[in-house]
Amino acid sequence: MNDELHSIYRQLFDLSGSTNAIRDLVRDIQDRSQDAKSSINVSGTKEELIRNLKEAVGRRFATISEVQQLLWDIEEVGRQHILLLTPAPPGLATPVANISDSEEVAVALFDEMPVKDLFPRYEYPTNGYLWADFRVSPNGSWLAKAYGRETYRQSQGLVSTEEMDDGTIQEIRQYAFKEVKATLIAHWRSSAKVLELRIDIGGIPNEKAIDERRNELWTLLKPAFGQSDLIGVNVDKLLEEIIFERDKPENKQRYSISRVELTDPRSGQIRVIPNQSEELDKDPGRKASLAAMQANSFRPSLVRVDWKNGLDGCPKCMTESVSVVIEKTANGPELRILKRVTNATYEYIFNQLRSRL
Amino acid sequence: MNTSSINFEAAYSNAELKVAADALRRWLENHPERTFFTFDQVCRELANSVPFELFNRVLLRLVAAGELQVHYRVKLGGGEYSEEAFESLDDVPPCVFDSSFEPVEVSDEDKVTAYAHAR
Protein backbone atom coordinates (compact mmCIF):
# COMPACT_ATOMS: atom_id res chain seq x y z
CA MET A 1 0.00 0.00 0.00
CA ASN A 2 2.89 2.34 0.77
CA ASP A 3 4.31 1.84 -2.74
CA GLU A 4 0.88 2.50 -4.20
CA LEU A 5 0.49 5.68 -2.15
CA HIS A 6 3.93 6.81 -3.16
CA SER A 7 2.95 6.32 -6.81
CA ILE A 8 -0.28 8.31 -6.35
CA TYR A 9 1.61 11.24 -4.82
CA ARG A 10 4.19 11.12 -7.61
CA GLN A 11 1.46 11.11 -10.28
CA LEU A 12 -0.17 14.12 -8.61
CA PHE A 13 3.15 15.93 -8.71
CA ASP A 14 3.79 15.03 -12.37
CA LEU A 15 0.38 16.09 -13.65
CA SER A 16 0.54 19.62 -15.03
CA GLY A 17 -2.27 21.96 -13.99
CA SER A 18 -3.07 19.99 -10.84
CA THR A 19 -1.93 22.52 -8.20
CA ASN A 20 -5.29 24.27 -7.72
CA ALA A 21 -7.17 20.99 -7.29
CA ILE A 22 -4.64 19.80 -4.69
CA ARG A 23 -4.90 23.12 -2.86
CA ASP A 24 -8.72 22.88 -2.89
CA LEU A 25 -8.60 19.45 -1.23
CA VAL A 26 -6.06 20.59 1.39
CA ARG A 27 -8.28 23.63 2.13
CA ASP A 28 -11.31 21.35 2.46
CA ILE A 29 -9.39 19.09 4.87
CA GLN A 30 -8.30 22.12 6.88
CA ASP A 31 -11.92 23.16 7.36
CA ARG A 32 -12.86 19.83 8.91
CA SER A 33 -11.62 20.48 12.44
CA GLN A 34 -9.78 22.96 14.60
CA ASP A 35 -6.97 20.44 14.96
CA ALA A 36 -6.64 20.13 11.18
CA LYS A 37 -6.76 23.90 10.79
CA SER A 38 -3.92 24.44 13.20
CA SER A 39 -1.65 21.67 11.89
CA ILE A 40 -2.21 21.51 8.10
CA ASN A 41 -0.87 24.31 5.94
CA VAL A 42 -2.72 25.32 2.79
CA SER A 43 -0.13 27.55 1.12
CA GLY A 44 3.10 26.84 -0.71
CA THR A 45 4.36 25.22 -3.87
CA LYS A 46 2.87 22.10 -5.40
CA GLU A 47 5.57 20.02 -3.69
CA GLU A 48 4.73 21.58 -0.33
CA LEU A 49 0.99 21.08 -0.87
CA ILE A 50 1.55 17.39 -1.59
CA ARG A 51 3.67 17.15 1.56
CA ASN A 52 0.78 18.76 3.49
CA LEU A 53 -1.65 16.28 1.95
CA LYS A 54 0.58 13.37 3.05
CA GLU A 55 0.68 14.85 6.53
CA ALA A 56 -3.14 15.13 6.55
CA VAL A 57 -3.52 11.46 5.56
CA GLY A 58 -0.88 10.42 8.10
CA ARG A 59 -2.75 12.25 10.86
CA ARG A 60 -6.09 10.80 9.68
CA PHE A 61 -7.65 14.15 8.77
CA ALA A 62 -8.14 12.68 5.28
CA THR A 63 -8.37 9.20 3.78
CA ILE A 64 -6.28 7.50 1.12
CA SER A 65 -9.47 7.11 -0.94
CA GLU A 66 -9.83 10.88 -1.07
CA VAL A 67 -6.30 11.25 -2.45
CA GLN A 68 -7.00 8.48 -4.96
CA GLN A 69 -10.23 10.24 -6.01
CA LEU A 70 -8.34 13.51 -6.40
CA LEU A 71 -5.87 11.88 -8.77
CA TRP A 72 -8.69 10.32 -10.80
CA ASP A 73 -10.52 13.64 -11.00
CA ILE A 74 -7.42 15.42 -12.23
CA GLU A 75 -6.17 12.89 -14.76
CA GLU A 76 -9.53 11.72 -16.13
CA VAL A 77 -11.12 15.02 -17.18
CA GLY A 78 -9.98 18.11 -19.03
CA ARG A 79 -7.08 18.77 -21.38
CA GLN A 80 -8.61 16.23 -23.75
CA HIS A 81 -10.16 15.65 -27.14
CA ILE A 82 -13.27 13.55 -26.53
CA LEU A 83 -14.91 11.55 -29.29
CA LEU A 84 -18.64 10.92 -28.74
CA LEU A 85 -19.79 7.57 -30.11
CA THR A 86 -22.80 5.29 -29.79
CA PRO A 87 -23.25 1.62 -30.73
CA ALA A 88 -23.98 1.06 -34.43
CA PRO A 89 -27.46 -0.35 -35.22
CA PRO A 90 -27.75 -4.15 -34.92
CA GLY A 91 -26.96 -5.79 -38.23
CA LEU A 92 -24.26 -3.23 -39.03
CA ALA A 93 -21.95 -4.15 -36.16
CA THR A 94 -20.43 -7.34 -34.77
CA PRO A 95 -18.84 -6.42 -31.43
CA VAL A 96 -17.25 -9.26 -29.43
CA ALA A 97 -18.75 -7.74 -26.27
CA ASN A 98 -21.97 -5.84 -25.75
CA ILE A 99 -20.67 -2.32 -25.07
CA SER A 100 -23.44 -1.61 -22.56
CA ASP A 101 -22.56 -4.71 -20.52
CA SER A 102 -19.58 -3.92 -18.30
CA GLU A 103 -19.02 -7.59 -17.40
CA GLU A 104 -18.86 -8.67 -21.05
CA VAL A 105 -16.46 -5.82 -21.83
CA ALA A 106 -14.26 -6.70 -18.82
CA VAL A 107 -14.10 -10.39 -19.77
CA ALA A 108 -13.20 -9.50 -23.38
CA LEU A 109 -10.47 -7.10 -22.27
CA PHE A 110 -9.00 -8.93 -19.29
CA ASP A 111 -10.09 -12.58 -19.76
CA GLU A 112 -11.45 -14.10 -16.60
CA MET A 113 -9.16 -12.13 -14.28
CA PRO A 114 -11.26 -10.25 -11.70
CA VAL A 115 -10.76 -6.55 -12.34
CA LYS A 116 -10.63 -5.89 -8.59
CA ASP A 117 -7.42 -7.95 -8.45
CA LEU A 118 -5.91 -6.23 -11.47
CA PHE A 119 -6.71 -2.58 -10.81
CA PRO A 120 -6.18 0.23 -10.07
CA ARG A 121 -2.54 0.41 -11.15
CA TYR A 122 -0.48 3.53 -10.76
CA GLU A 123 2.72 2.67 -12.59
CA TYR A 124 3.23 3.80 -16.15
CA PRO A 125 4.60 1.24 -18.60
CA THR A 126 8.21 1.69 -19.74
CA ASN A 127 6.98 2.32 -23.26
CA GLY A 128 3.58 2.16 -24.99
CA TYR A 129 0.14 1.89 -23.39
CA LEU A 130 -1.32 -0.55 -20.82
CA TRP A 131 -4.63 -0.71 -18.97
CA ALA A 132 -4.43 0.91 -15.54
CA ASP A 133 -8.02 0.78 -14.31
CA PHE A 134 -11.52 -0.52 -14.98
CA ARG A 135 -14.34 0.80 -12.82
CA VAL A 136 -18.06 0.12 -12.97
CA SER A 137 -20.74 2.46 -11.58
CA PRO A 138 -23.95 1.20 -9.95
CA ASN A 139 -25.95 2.51 -12.95
CA GLY A 140 -23.99 0.29 -15.36
CA SER A 141 -21.60 2.94 -16.69
CA TRP A 142 -17.98 1.86 -16.93
CA LEU A 143 -14.61 3.54 -17.32
CA ALA A 144 -11.46 1.92 -18.68
CA LYS A 145 -8.20 3.82 -18.29
CA ALA A 146 -4.80 3.25 -19.85
CA TYR A 147 -1.49 4.82 -18.92
CA GLY A 148 1.14 5.34 -21.55
CA ARG A 149 4.68 6.52 -21.94
CA GLU A 150 5.93 7.93 -25.23
CA THR A 151 9.46 8.82 -26.22
CA TYR A 152 10.15 11.22 -29.05
CA ARG A 153 13.02 13.24 -30.48
CA GLN A 154 12.83 16.94 -29.73
CA SER A 155 14.86 19.31 -31.87
CA GLN A 156 17.28 21.38 -29.84
CA GLY A 157 17.33 24.03 -32.57
CA LEU A 158 21.08 23.62 -33.02
CA VAL A 159 22.30 23.05 -36.54
CA SER A 160 25.94 22.89 -37.60
CA THR A 161 27.18 22.70 -41.16
CA GLU A 162 30.41 21.30 -42.49
CA GLU A 163 31.82 21.53 -45.99
CA MET A 164 32.88 18.11 -47.29
CA ASP A 165 35.91 17.32 -49.49
CA ASP A 166 33.71 16.86 -52.54
CA GLY A 167 32.24 20.33 -52.12
CA THR A 168 28.90 19.21 -50.66
CA ILE A 169 27.62 20.57 -47.36
CA GLN A 170 26.80 18.29 -44.46
CA GLU A 171 24.19 19.58 -42.00
CA ILE A 172 24.08 18.17 -38.46
CA ARG A 173 20.99 18.74 -36.27
CA GLN A 174 20.87 18.10 -32.54
CA TYR A 175 17.96 16.31 -30.92
CA ALA A 176 17.27 15.20 -27.38
CA PHE A 177 15.01 12.36 -26.33
CA LYS A 178 11.97 13.44 -24.38
CA GLU A 179 9.54 11.25 -22.44
CA VAL A 180 5.85 12.06 -22.15
CA LYS A 181 3.23 10.33 -20.01
CA ALA A 182 -0.38 10.26 -21.17
CA THR A 183 -3.74 8.91 -20.04
CA LEU A 184 -6.36 7.44 -22.37
CA ILE A 185 -9.93 6.74 -21.30
CA ALA A 186 -12.93 4.92 -22.67
CA HIS A 187 -16.05 5.88 -20.71
CA TRP A 188 -19.44 4.28 -21.35
CA ARG A 189 -22.35 6.41 -20.13
CA SER A 190 -25.18 3.94 -19.77
CA SER A 191 -28.05 6.43 -19.39
CA ALA A 192 -26.95 8.51 -22.40
CA LYS A 193 -25.80 5.43 -24.36
CA VAL A 194 -22.64 7.33 -25.29
CA LEU A 195 -19.09 6.01 -25.39
CA GLU A 196 -16.54 8.73 -24.80
CA LEU A 197 -12.99 8.20 -26.02
CA ARG A 198 -11.02 10.75 -24.04
CA ILE A 199 -7.60 11.45 -25.47
CA ASP A 200 -5.02 13.30 -23.38
CA ILE A 201 -3.62 16.24 -25.39
CA GLY A 202 -0.80 17.04 -22.96
CA GLY A 203 2.79 17.03 -24.16
CA ILE A 204 2.07 16.09 -27.76
CA PRO A 205 5.14 16.33 -30.00
CA ASN A 206 3.34 16.89 -33.33
CA GLU A 207 -0.05 17.37 -34.99
CA LYS A 208 -0.55 13.64 -35.62
CA ALA A 209 0.00 12.61 -32.01
CA ILE A 210 -3.64 12.90 -30.93
CA ASP A 211 -4.75 10.57 -33.75
CA GLU A 212 -1.93 8.18 -32.83
CA ARG A 213 -3.04 8.14 -29.20
CA ARG A 214 -6.63 7.50 -30.28
CA ASN A 215 -5.39 4.55 -32.37
CA GLU A 216 -3.57 3.22 -29.29
CA LEU A 217 -6.87 3.28 -27.40
CA TRP A 218 -8.70 1.53 -30.25
CA THR A 219 -6.00 -1.17 -30.24
CA LEU A 220 -6.46 -1.71 -26.49
CA LEU A 221 -10.26 -1.91 -26.91
CA LYS A 222 -10.11 -4.25 -29.91
CA PRO A 223 -10.64 -7.51 -27.95
CA ALA A 224 -14.08 -6.14 -26.97
CA PHE A 225 -15.18 -3.99 -29.90
CA GLY A 226 -13.76 -2.02 -32.80
CA GLN A 227 -14.30 1.25 -34.65
CA SER A 228 -16.79 -0.36 -37.03
CA ASP A 229 -19.04 -1.26 -34.10
CA LEU A 230 -19.75 2.38 -33.28
CA ILE A 231 -21.09 5.46 -35.02
CA GLY A 232 -20.85 9.14 -34.16
CA VAL A 233 -23.49 10.69 -31.90
CA ASN A 234 -25.70 12.98 -33.99
CA VAL A 235 -24.89 16.53 -32.88
CA ASP A 236 -26.62 18.41 -35.72
CA LYS A 237 -29.49 19.61 -33.51
CA LEU A 238 -27.07 20.47 -30.69
CA LEU A 239 -24.92 22.67 -32.94
CA GLU A 240 -27.98 24.35 -34.48
CA GLU A 241 -29.43 25.17 -31.07
CA ILE A 242 -26.17 26.37 -29.56
CA ILE A 243 -25.45 28.69 -32.48
CA PHE A 244 -28.82 29.78 -33.81
CA GLU A 245 -30.83 29.80 -30.57
CA ARG A 246 -28.18 31.46 -28.43
CA ASP A 247 -30.36 34.54 -27.89
CA LYS A 248 -33.01 32.59 -25.97
CA PRO A 249 -32.84 33.89 -22.38
CA GLU A 250 -32.01 30.47 -20.88
CA ASN A 251 -29.17 30.01 -23.39
CA LYS A 252 -27.87 33.57 -23.24
CA GLN A 253 -27.55 33.26 -19.49
CA ARG A 254 -25.58 29.97 -19.72
CA TYR A 255 -23.09 30.53 -22.52
CA SER A 256 -21.67 32.68 -25.28
CA ILE A 257 -20.00 31.58 -28.50
CA SER A 258 -16.88 32.74 -30.31
CA ARG A 259 -15.42 30.74 -33.24
CA VAL A 260 -17.92 29.07 -35.56
CA GLU A 261 -17.52 27.10 -38.78
CA LEU A 262 -20.34 26.36 -41.20
CA THR A 263 -20.91 24.50 -44.46
CA ASP A 264 -22.99 26.18 -47.16
CA PRO A 265 -25.50 24.25 -49.30
CA ARG A 266 -22.82 23.81 -52.00
CA SER A 267 -20.35 22.31 -49.48
CA GLY A 268 -18.29 25.50 -49.18
CA GLN A 269 -16.74 26.32 -45.80
CA ILE A 270 -17.15 29.57 -43.87
CA ARG A 271 -15.18 30.35 -40.72
CA VAL A 272 -15.78 33.15 -38.26
CA ILE A 273 -12.78 33.56 -35.96
CA PRO A 274 -13.12 36.52 -33.57
CA ASN A 275 -9.84 38.04 -32.50
CA GLN A 276 -8.55 36.61 -29.21
CA SER A 277 -11.70 34.45 -29.02
CA GLU A 278 -13.91 37.34 -27.94
CA GLU A 279 -17.67 36.80 -27.91
CA LEU A 280 -18.98 36.60 -31.48
CA ASP A 281 -22.00 38.80 -30.73
CA LYS A 282 -19.85 41.72 -29.59
CA ASP A 283 -19.55 42.75 -33.22
CA PRO A 284 -22.89 43.58 -34.91
CA GLY A 285 -21.45 42.80 -38.36
CA ARG A 286 -20.45 39.28 -37.31
CA LYS A 287 -23.85 38.73 -35.70
CA ALA A 288 -25.66 39.89 -38.86
CA SER A 289 -23.43 37.69 -41.05
CA LEU A 290 -24.31 34.65 -38.99
CA ALA A 291 -28.03 35.47 -39.21
CA ALA A 292 -27.68 35.70 -43.00
CA MET A 293 -25.93 32.30 -43.09
CA GLN A 294 -28.74 30.77 -41.03
CA ALA A 295 -31.33 32.23 -43.43
CA ASN A 296 -29.41 30.68 -46.34
CA SER A 297 -29.37 27.15 -44.88
CA PHE A 298 -25.72 27.05 -43.82
CA ARG A 299 -25.13 24.07 -41.50
CA PRO A 300 -22.84 24.42 -38.48
CA SER A 301 -19.86 22.08 -38.19
CA LEU A 302 -17.92 23.68 -35.32
CA VAL A 303 -18.62 25.99 -32.42
CA ARG A 304 -16.57 27.21 -29.51
CA VAL A 305 -18.76 27.69 -26.45
CA ASP A 306 -17.79 29.55 -23.31
CA TRP A 307 -19.84 28.09 -20.46
CA LYS A 308 -20.38 30.68 -17.74
CA ASN A 309 -19.78 29.89 -14.09
CA GLY A 310 -21.62 30.95 -10.93
CA LEU A 311 -25.11 30.05 -12.22
CA ASP A 312 -27.79 27.77 -10.79
CA GLY A 313 -26.68 24.21 -11.37
CA CYS A 314 -22.99 25.08 -11.83
CA PRO A 315 -20.78 23.18 -9.40
CA LYS A 316 -19.03 25.28 -6.75
CA CYS A 317 -15.64 24.15 -8.06
CA MET A 318 -16.38 25.77 -11.46
CA THR A 319 -14.71 29.01 -10.48
CA GLU A 320 -14.27 30.41 -13.99
CA SER A 321 -15.92 30.04 -17.39
CA VAL A 322 -14.86 26.99 -19.39
CA SER A 323 -14.34 26.98 -23.17
CA VAL A 324 -15.38 23.87 -25.06
CA VAL A 325 -15.12 23.30 -28.81
CA ILE A 326 -17.61 20.97 -30.46
CA GLU A 327 -16.73 19.84 -33.98
CA LYS A 328 -18.12 17.28 -36.40
CA THR A 329 -15.05 15.35 -37.56
CA ALA A 330 -14.55 12.37 -39.88
CA ASN A 331 -14.15 10.19 -36.76
CA GLY A 332 -17.37 11.44 -35.16
CA PRO A 333 -18.26 14.52 -33.13
CA GLU A 334 -15.53 15.71 -30.85
CA LEU A 335 -15.52 17.81 -27.68
CA ARG A 336 -12.27 19.63 -26.98
CA ILE A 337 -11.27 21.08 -23.64
CA LEU A 338 -7.91 22.76 -23.30
CA LYS A 339 -7.84 23.32 -19.54
CA ARG A 340 -8.00 20.84 -16.73
CA VAL A 341 -11.45 20.88 -15.15
CA THR A 342 -12.97 18.99 -12.26
CA ASN A 343 -15.17 15.97 -12.86
CA ALA A 344 -18.17 17.91 -11.51
CA THR A 345 -17.55 20.74 -13.98
CA TYR A 346 -17.28 18.35 -16.90
CA GLU A 347 -20.46 16.53 -15.84
CA TYR A 348 -22.28 19.88 -15.70
CA ILE A 349 -21.11 20.75 -19.24
CA PHE A 350 -21.89 17.27 -20.58
CA ASN A 351 -25.42 17.49 -19.15
CA GLN A 352 -25.89 20.93 -20.72
CA LEU A 353 -24.95 19.42 -24.09
CA ARG A 354 -26.97 16.26 -23.59
CA SER A 355 -30.14 18.24 -22.85
CA ARG A 356 -29.75 19.85 -26.28
CA LEU A 357 -29.02 16.65 -28.26
CA MET B 1 -7.26 45.92 -22.43
CA ASN B 2 -8.06 48.23 -19.53
CA THR B 3 -5.51 51.03 -19.91
CA SER B 4 -6.69 53.21 -17.04
CA SER B 5 -4.21 51.72 -14.61
CA ILE B 6 -1.25 51.71 -17.02
CA ASN B 7 1.02 54.62 -16.32
CA PHE B 8 2.16 55.64 -19.81
CA GLU B 9 4.18 58.49 -18.32
CA ALA B 10 6.86 55.90 -17.59
CA ALA B 11 7.71 56.19 -21.31
CA TYR B 12 7.50 60.02 -21.55
CA SER B 13 11.26 60.58 -21.41
CA ASN B 14 11.23 62.86 -24.45
CA ALA B 15 8.74 64.44 -26.86
CA GLU B 16 9.13 61.75 -29.52
CA LEU B 17 8.47 58.94 -27.09
CA LYS B 18 5.48 60.81 -25.67
CA VAL B 19 3.92 60.88 -29.16
CA ALA B 20 4.49 57.13 -29.53
CA ALA B 21 3.28 56.33 -25.99
CA ASP B 22 0.08 58.38 -26.50
CA ALA B 23 -0.54 56.67 -29.85
CA LEU B 24 -0.15 53.29 -28.15
CA ARG B 25 -2.48 54.32 -25.32
CA ARG B 26 -5.19 55.47 -27.79
CA TRP B 27 -4.84 52.27 -29.80
CA LEU B 28 -5.23 50.11 -26.70
CA GLU B 29 -8.23 52.18 -25.57
CA ASN B 30 -9.83 51.43 -28.95
CA HIS B 31 -9.26 47.70 -28.44
CA PRO B 32 -10.61 47.08 -24.92
CA GLU B 33 -11.34 43.44 -25.74
CA ARG B 34 -7.66 42.57 -26.20
CA THR B 35 -6.06 40.63 -23.39
CA PHE B 36 -2.62 40.93 -25.03
CA PHE B 37 -0.98 42.50 -28.08
CA THR B 38 2.19 42.04 -30.09
CA PHE B 39 4.69 44.49 -31.50
CA ASP B 40 3.66 43.48 -35.06
CA GLN B 41 0.01 44.30 -34.38
CA VAL B 42 0.87 47.75 -33.06
CA CYS B 43 3.21 48.51 -35.97
CA ARG B 44 0.80 47.22 -38.60
CA GLU B 45 -1.88 49.63 -37.47
CA LEU B 46 0.19 52.60 -36.37
CA ALA B 47 3.36 52.61 -38.46
CA ASN B 48 1.84 55.19 -40.83
CA SER B 49 1.91 57.78 -38.09
CA VAL B 50 4.82 56.86 -35.83
CA PRO B 51 8.18 55.17 -36.64
CA PHE B 52 8.11 51.59 -35.34
CA GLU B 53 11.44 52.01 -33.58
CA LEU B 54 9.79 54.48 -31.21
CA PHE B 55 7.16 51.90 -30.26
CA ASN B 56 9.92 49.45 -29.52
CA ARG B 57 11.48 51.94 -27.09
CA VAL B 58 8.11 52.73 -25.50
CA LEU B 59 7.38 49.05 -24.95
CA LEU B 60 10.84 48.46 -23.44
CA ARG B 61 10.28 51.36 -21.02
CA LEU B 62 6.77 50.22 -20.03
CA VAL B 63 8.04 46.70 -19.36
CA ALA B 64 11.02 48.00 -17.37
CA ALA B 65 8.64 50.17 -15.31
CA GLY B 66 6.47 47.15 -14.55
CA GLU B 67 3.46 48.59 -16.39
CA LEU B 68 3.38 45.84 -19.02
CA GLN B 69 4.22 42.19 -18.67
CA VAL B 70 6.01 40.13 -21.30
CA HIS B 71 5.04 36.61 -22.24
CA TYR B 72 5.46 34.47 -25.35
CA ARG B 73 2.93 33.13 -27.80
CA VAL B 74 3.04 31.42 -31.16
CA LYS B 75 1.79 33.17 -34.28
CA LEU B 76 -0.53 30.88 -36.21
CA GLY B 77 -2.16 31.23 -39.62
CA GLY B 78 -4.95 33.73 -40.25
CA GLY B 79 -3.72 36.26 -37.69
CA GLU B 80 -4.37 33.92 -34.78
CA TYR B 81 -2.09 33.38 -31.81
CA SER B 82 -1.70 30.31 -29.61
CA GLU B 83 -4.34 29.96 -26.91
CA GLU B 84 -1.73 29.47 -24.23
CA ALA B 85 0.91 31.97 -23.17
CA PHE B 86 4.39 30.96 -21.97
CA GLU B 87 6.69 32.61 -19.48
CA SER B 88 9.86 31.96 -21.45
CA LEU B 89 10.80 30.88 -24.97
CA ASP B 90 12.11 27.61 -23.56
CA ASP B 91 8.64 26.84 -22.18
CA VAL B 92 7.05 26.87 -25.65
CA PRO B 93 6.25 23.22 -26.46
CA PRO B 94 6.63 21.57 -29.90
CA CYS B 95 2.85 21.84 -30.41
CA VAL B 96 0.40 24.56 -29.34
CA PHE B 97 -3.36 24.91 -29.80
CA ASP B 98 -5.38 27.28 -31.97
CA SER B 99 -8.80 28.74 -31.12
CA SER B 100 -10.52 25.50 -32.14
CA PHE B 101 -8.14 23.65 -29.77
CA GLU B 102 -6.51 21.83 -32.68
CA PRO B 103 -2.75 21.26 -32.37
CA VAL B 104 -0.34 23.29 -34.49
CA GLU B 105 3.36 22.48 -34.76
CA VAL B 106 5.65 25.32 -33.72
CA SER B 107 8.53 26.78 -35.72
CA ASP B 108 11.07 28.90 -33.91
CA GLU B 109 10.32 31.87 -36.19
CA ASP B 110 6.64 31.82 -35.16
CA LYS B 111 7.40 32.45 -31.50
CA VAL B 112 6.58 36.08 -30.64
CA THR B 113 6.78 38.37 -27.67
CA ALA B 114 3.35 39.42 -26.42
CA TYR B 115 2.52 42.22 -24.00
CA ALA B 116 -0.20 42.24 -21.39
CA HIS B 117 -1.25 44.52 -18.60
CA ALA B 118 0.93 43.77 -15.55
CA ARG B 119 -1.64 43.10 -12.82
Phi, psi (deg, nearest 5) at residue A108: -65, -35
For residue A259, the chain B residues in CB contact (below 8 A) are 99-100
Q: Which amino acid is at A20?
A: N
DSSP string, A71-83: HHHHHHSSSEEEE
Average pLDDT, chain B: 89
Q: Which one of A277, A278, A326 makes the best mutation probe of the B interface by having the most chain B beta carbons within 10 Å? A: A277
Average pLDDT on A19-39 reads 89
Residues 40-99 of B with CB under 8 A from A: 78-81, 83-84, 93-95, 97, 99
Interchain contact, A325 vs B78, CB within 8 Å = no
State whether A205 and B95 contact (CB < 8 Å). Answer: yes
Least confident of A2-16, A141-155, A321-335: A2-16
Q: pLDDT value at position B48?
A: 83
Tell me the pTM.
0.90
Q: Please, what's the b/e burial string for A210-238 (b: 16 or more CB within 10 A of its CB; e: otherwise)?
A: beebbebbeebbeebbebebbebbebeeb
The pLDDT value given to residue B119: 66
Q: Which residues of A touch B101 (CB under 8 A)?
A: 81, 201, 304, 323, 325, 336-338
Question: What percentage of residues in chain B have a pLDDT greater than 90?
Answer: 55
Q: Measure the CA–CA gap between B71 and A77, rounded to whole angstroms.
A: 27
Q: Looking at beta carbons, which residues of chain B come within 8 Å of A327?
A: 100
B109 contacts in chain A (CB < 8 Å): none
pLDDT at A334: 98
Contacts A204 to B, Cβ<8 Å: 94-95, 103
CB-based contact A81 B101, cutoff 8 Å: yes
**At residue A199, does pLDDT exceed 90?**
yes
The predicted model gives B47-76 an average pLDDT of 91
pLDDT of res. A236: 96
3-state SS class at A68: helix
B107 close to A (CB below 8 A): no
Q: Say what the ipTM of the complex is.
A: 0.90
Q: What is the pLDDT of residues A270-301, one digit of tens each?
A: 999 998 889 999 999 999 999 999 999 999 99
| Burial class of residue A281, CB neighbours in 10 A (0-12, 13-18, 19+) | middle
In this prediction, what percent of chain A has a pLDDT beyond 70? 99
H or E element in which residue A295 lies:
helix A284-295
Whether A15 shows a pLDDT value over 80: the answer reads yes
Question: B21 exposed, middle or buried (CB, 10 Å; 0-12, 13-18, 19+)?
Answer: buried
Residue of B7, B72, B64, B8 lying closest to B39 (CA atoms): B72
CB contact under 8 A, A204 and B100: no
Whole-number pLDDT of residue A153: 87
Query: Which helix (DSSP H) or strand (DSSP E) does residue A131 occupy?
Result: strand A128-136
Q: Which of A204, A206, A325 sits opposite B100 (nearest CB)?
A: A325
Nearest chain B residue to A276, by CA: B34
| Closest by Cα among A325, A305, A86, A75 to A199 | A75
Read off the pLDDT of each residue in B84-106 and give the average, rounded to a whole number.
94
Which residues touch B30 (CB under 8 Å, ≥6 apart)? none
User: What average pLDDT is seen over chain A?
Assistant: 93
**Per-residue model confidence as pLDDT tens digits over A51-87:** 999 999 999 999 999 999 999 988 999 999 999 999 9
Q: What is the arithmetic mean of pLDDT over A28-46? A: 88
Highest mean pLDDT (candidates A105-119, A321-335, B47-61): A321-335
**Prior bond to A120 cis, omega within 30?**
yes
pLDDT at A174: 87
DSSP label at residue A90: B
Residues in B touching A154 (Cβ below 8 Å): 94
Give yes or no for residue A88 having a pLDDT over 70: yes
Q: Is A302 on the interface with B (CB under 8 A)?
A: yes
Mean pLDDT of the region A350-356: 94
Region B95-103 average pLDDT: 96
pLDDT digits (tens, 9 = 90+) for A201-229: 999 999 999 999 999 999 999 999 999 99
CA distance A256 to chain B (A): 15
pLDDT of B32-44, one tens digit each? 888 899 998 888 8
Q: Mapped to the 3 state alphabet, what secondary structure does A196-252 carry? A: EEEEECCCCCCCCHHHHHHHHHHHHHCCCCCHHHEEECCCHHHHHHHHHCCCCHHHH
* Closest A-chain CA to B103: A207
Q: What is the DSSP string of A150-211?
A: EEEEEEEEEEEEEE-TTS-EEEEEEEEEEEEEEEEEEEEETTTTEEEEEEE-TT--STTHHH
For residue A16, is pLDDT > 90? Answer: no
User: Which chain A residue shows the shortest CA-CA distance from B1?
Assistant: A276
**Does the CB of A304 have a partner CB in chain B at under 8 Å?**
yes
> Does A276 contact B104 at a Cβ distance shorter than 8 Å?
no
Distance CA(A323)–CA(A326), nearest Å, equals 10
DSSP-based three-state secondary structure for A261: strand
- Section B10-20 average pLDDT: 86
How sure is the predictor about A1, in pLDDT bands with cuts at 50, 70 and 90? Answer: low
The pLDDT, as a whole number, for residue A307 is 98
pLDDT at B16: 86
What is the C-alpha to C-alpha distance for residues A25 and A50, in angstroms, rounded to an integer? 10
**pLDDT of A156 higher than 90:** no
- Mean pLDDT within A334-348: 94
Helix pair angle (A64-76, A2-14), 10° resolution: 40
Residue in chain B lying closest to A211 (CA): B103
